[in-house]
A = this chain, B = another copy of it.
Amino acid sequence: MYARTFMNQASTERIEASMATRKEVAELAGVSEATVSRVLNGVGPIKDATRERVMEAAARLGYQLNAVASSFARGLSGNIGVVLPHVPKVHLFSTYYFSEILSGIGEAVRTGGHGLLLLYRDPGQPFDYVSLFRTRRVDACLVLGASSLPDEEAGIRALAEEDVPFCVVDQRFGGLPVPAVIADHVSGSYVATRHLLASGHARIGFLNGSPQYSNSADRSQGYRMALTEEGIAWNEDIVYEGNYSRKSGYEAAARVAADFDRLDAVLCGNDRMAIGLVQGLKERGFRLPYDLPIVGYDNADASSLIDPPLTTVEVPFYEMGLRAASRLLSRLGGGAEDASAGLEVLPTRLVVRKSCKTSTPEAKESENE
């Protein structure tokens, strides 16, 4: 007890000692505290001479605004919450996925004076988003890696009922008018499937991800649309389910290999599964892409590294994070919130690489990137 008090004091001794208060600045500048506050916040009319005196006094004393006190007085935390699923030691999504989205968010927030508060939640468990606002820990909130599992969706629904700035990234909820930035996965998988069809592959297998994610459903839809357009019946037997992990792709290789005689190609829900699948098929002696064209999804870094480089669908994760954060910021800034409750859909793009070429190696193909 004694030690603890002592230590904490010691820890902040220097900082405390060197902290000038607003009062001192006011005294040195010969003005009131209110004027100091006004100068520092740039509000209200201030005589130039006064402003300069205050600024100089503040600089001389090394005065820094106490962010916590400021937040308190304003009733705002100054933070934007980013809620992530926490899966210890396991990368549910590729790290690429979150890294990119986070980078985009960081870019948007970086210049706005807002803090980025990282919050972890347990996937599948209820999460009390509303408390984040009630406790004033965040002024706005971004939700990453959400799913439609009942408990998760309930949390989002509760959040949507409060009139509070938040935005979900890469997940939508059928009936709920939840503000979200998603990618056009319907189109992405549609185009990917069409690409395979155009190359003469009719019997296209589909290794999709967990159904609780709306992007899984969207991909499934695009895939079926493309098949239907060509008058090809949708064959349940060659639709496989993984969980977006490499391991699940690797394990799917057994099923795919067993179905080899009724498969012309396989479309995957993300690159990690595609990579696992490729790995598994290679171990079974498949010569890729000649034996079985594979298409991935995400355009993750790794997709161009493996052999064969994956044809895949580029998803603008970075921009999605950027857009989602920008929306929140503009709403916080009092901007229009027209699009606030809306769904923003960013385009995806097919990236053709060698993994779906079955022509002879001599036919050189152009590589994207």
| A307 touches which of B79, B120, B131, B307 (Cβ 8 Å) | B307
Digit string of A324-341 for contact with B (CB within 8 Å is 1, else 0)? 000000010010010000
Q: Give Cα A176–Cα B131 distance, bound, in whole angstroms.
A: 43
A-side interface size class:
35 or more
Partner of A64, one of B13, B76, B134, B306: B134
Chain A 76-105, CB within 8 Å of chain B: the 1/0 string? 110100101010110100011011001100
Contact for A15 among B5, B66, B72, B162, CB less than 8 A: B162
Q: Which of the residues B15, B19, B134, B337 comes within 8 Å of A18, measured between beta carbons?
A: B134
- Expressed in whole angstroms, the Cα–Cα distance for A72 and B8 within the complex equals 16
**Residue A239, interface by CB 8 Å:** no
Flag if A67 contacts B106 (CB, 8 Å).
Answer: no
Contact A135 B15 (CB under 8 A): no
Closest B residue to A110 by beta carbon equals B120
Report yes or no: B86 in contact with A334, Cβ–Cβ below 8 A: no
Q: Given known contacts A118-B106, A334-B4, is B306 in contact with A135 (CB within 8 Å)?
A: no
In the complex, the answer to whether B77 meets A137 with C-beta atoms within 8 Å is no
> A69-B72, A305-B302 in contact; A115/B134 too (CB < 8 A)?
no
Residues of B within 8 Å of A75, CB to CB, are: 68
Task: Determine if B164 and A14 form an interchain contact, defined as CB atoms under 8 angstroms apart.
Answer: yes
Judge if A39 is at the interface, Cβ distance under 8 Å: no
* Shortest beta-carbon contacts, A-B, top 7: A4-B334, A95-B99, A116-B118, A72-B72, A64-B134, A67-B135, A307-B307
